[in-house]
Amino acid sequence: MKLRIIFCAALALLLGQPALADAAGPPANTSTALSADATLEEISNLAKTGNAEAQYQLGERYYNGQGVVQNDKQALYWYRKAAEQNNDMAQAYLGVMYYTGRGVAQDYAQAVFWYRKAAEQGIAAAQGNLGVMYGYGQGVAQDYAQSLFWLRKAVDQGNASAQNDLGNMYKEGHGVARDDAQAVVLFRKAAERGRAIGQYNLAVMYYAGRGINQDNAQAVFWYRKAADQGYAAAQFNLGYMYNIGSGVAQDNAQAVFWYRKAADQGYAAAQNTLGTMYQSGRGITQDDAQAVFWYRKAADQGYAVAQFNLGYMYNIGSGVAQDNAQAVFWYRKGADQGYAAAQNTLGTMYQSGHGITQDDVQAVFWYRKAADQGYAVAQFNLGYMYNIGTGVAQDNAQAVFWYRKAADQGYAAAQNTLGTMYQSEHGVTQDDAEAVFWYRKAADQGYAAAQNTLGTMYQSGRGITQDDAQAVFWYRKAADQGYAVAQFNLGYMYNMGRGVARDYEQAAFWYGKAADQGDTDAQKNLAIMYETDQSAPDNGSDTQPTGNHRKPGGRPNRPSGNRPNNRPPQHNNPPPHRPAPQPMPKPAPISPK
């Protein structure tokens, strides 16, 4: 009876993680069988006489360091001896060594050659690996039909890796009509046999509701199964489910626990997100130095989001000494990978000359890079550059174009500024009603400048029915946020008794708020009130502020946000990797807050 050793080779391939762990069926008889209790000396002696099974077994001992010092070159030597005598398992292992470059220069063509030898003898794992190499086009011309042929051969023998990989073929529609339901069937087969990537992929399908009813609890169940086996992507996604309380009770501490598990394995998305947890103090004691530590871990792996976050920490000097040059270095790393937030922020560094020679043309270049990806902040900033003619020829029509792009995405600063363009007839036909429309969009998001300006539109009756009470309502909204112009305007309304009962004490209160922020008009009107004793409760005097008062909206509104925005780092967590049948899926870019 032949001795069979179960083995696993981690081959990270496009279609999953094929491995020889699930080899099914006995190999062909290639030589005299060995007893199960054969000693190393007996195996070695037989191998030297040309016994193929003993040569395979000796290669296996050297491969795993079992009873001998681990030695890949010796493993390769004995595997080759056995493989050349048509030992199926030795052929399969020889394919692994060529694929991984263990003990020999990596050579996909040789890997394919030896996998095929073993596959043709019925070794299921070799059939699965050969199928994957056809799917990848590694060592052989890409051929989905051949990939499907060999994967099905392995699946028919119950090979869990092949079940998962064939599931991916159905999921992605490679060489076969896309069929999520069939993908789920195959993922479940692999999952129920304990294959971690199958468990992970089944969880992804439950989370997305693809091929099966959406069920976050089942997603958590299968993520946990894979996570408990140490599968980093599943650990990360399980952390995410705890983070958002989806399919499981919300628990930041558990989120941190699972993020750390994946981070400790070098999983970049988890390292970055663990950094955000440290920075925000969610589920763990707040610690900017630790945030920087984990951002750097992920950034050093080329993870663009972490490169952006690390740049931000250098930018503000949080958890690390402030250093604009280092901030620019890391922003550029992320920007060069196409990460829109980094491209936009690199633009702000060029525009401000922080950490790099000031260059408006380069600022426009990077704003455009991010804007073309649909990044609203950059669209707004690019619009601003056209608006003022900095780094690009002045062009109000182009400014309106980019402001509108950002405004349509709900970016409040752009909505407010687009309103001013309609009101002032810059780059667009003058239209007060349209201006009011955009001011209200921004005001409803709590944007103070728009709330104040909407108040002026109500007070003047421009683009909307005149209504002092509504003017007061919006002035108060902005004033409560500390917006000095609105505080002045609200003081004026109390002073004049417009839209609200006249109240000199309240007028003085709001003038005082604005004056404390350096608003000179408020300071002048407040002085007048004190001179005429109007700061006391109403004494019936009709004395009004002199020409020093400013009628709301009487001077150009100071639109907020017309300067480029340095965005804060990512405190939101990446969503589960929906397209991630791979062992280390590339995460989707994370939109910054």
| Mean pLDDT value across residues 372-394 | 97
Distance of CA 54 to the CA centre of its chain: 51
Q: What is the pLDDT of residue 33?
A: 65
Question: Which is higher by pLDDT, 427 or 11?
Answer: 427
- Residue 154's nearest CA partner among 120, 187, 188 is 120
- Residue 367's nearest CA partner among 559, 567, 573, 568 is 567
Residue pLDDT, tens place only, 445-460: 999 999 999 999 999 9
| Mean pLDDT value across residues 540-562 | 36
Whether the CB-CB separation of 525 and 386 falls below 8 Å is answered with no
3-state secondary structure of 349: helix
Structure tokens at 573: 């967590």
If 0-12 CB within 10 Å is exposed, 13-18 middle and 19+ buried, where does residue 144 land?
middle
Partners of residue 16 on adjacent β-strands: 13
The CA R_g of the chain, rounded to the nearest whole Å, is 34
- Name the packing angle between helices 124-136 and 144-156 (round to 10°): 160
Whether the CB-CB separation of 406 and 414 falls below 8 Å is answered with yes
3-state secondary structure of 10: coil
Is the pLDDT at 161 greater than 70, yes or no? yes
Range of lowest pLDDT (60-69, 386-395, 502-511, 526-535): 526-535
Q: What percent of the chain has pLDDT over 90?
A: 82
Distance of CA 360 to the CA centre of its chain: 29
Structure tokens at 452: 């104040």
**pLDDT classification of 32: cutoffs 50, 70, 90:** low
- Topology of domain 1-176, per CATH? 1.25.40
Q: Which amino acid is at 588?
A: A
If 0-12 CB within 10 Å is exposed, 13-18 middle and 19+ buried, where does residue 309 land?
buried
Q: What percent of the chain has pLDDT over 70?
A: 84
Q: How far does the chain reach from its first CA to its final CA, in angstroms?
A: 64
Q: Which amino acid is at 35?
A: S
3-state secondary structure of 25: coil
Distance of CA 128 to the CA centre of its chain: 32
Structure tokens at 75: 């493993």
Helices (H) and strands (E) in the chain, counts: 28, 0
Range of lowest pLDDT (27-41, 333-347, 504-518): 27-41
The residues near 403 (Cβ < 8 Å, ≥ 6 apart) are 379, 380, 383, 387, 414, 417, 418, 421
| Mean pLDDT value across residues 516-531 | 91
Residue pLDDT, tens place only, 241-260: 999 999 999 999 999 999 99
Place of tokens 């965005």: 567
Measure the CA–CA gap between 229 and 214, rounded to whole angstroms: 24
Q: What is the pLDDT of residue 532?
A: 80
Measure the CA–CA gap between 267 and 261, rounded to whole angstroms: 9
Residue pLDDT, tens place only, 337-369: 999 999 999 999 999 999 999 999 999 999 999
| Mean pLDDT value across residues 491-512 | 95
Range of lowest pLDDT (228-237, 311-320, 452-461, 577-586): 577-586
> 225's torsion region: left (phi>0), alpha (psi -120 to 50) or beta?
alpha
Place of tokens 């060029």: 350
Superfamily of domain 179-260: Tetratricopeptide repeat domain (1.25.40.10)
Q: What is the pLDDT of residue 212?
A: 97
Q: What is the pLDDT of residue 534?
A: 66
Structure tokens at 192: 């129920």
Q: What is the CATH number of domain 448-553?
A: 1.25.40.10
Structure tokens at 45: 């002696």
**Which DSSP state fits 303?**
-
- Mean pLDDT of the residues in the chain: 87
CATH code 1.25.40.10 region(s) in the chain: 1-176, 179-260, 448-553
Measure the CA–CA gap between 549 and 354, rounded to whole angstroms: 39
Residue pLDDT, tens place only, 384-439: 999 999 999 999 999 999 999 999 999 999 999 999 999 999 999 999 999 999 99
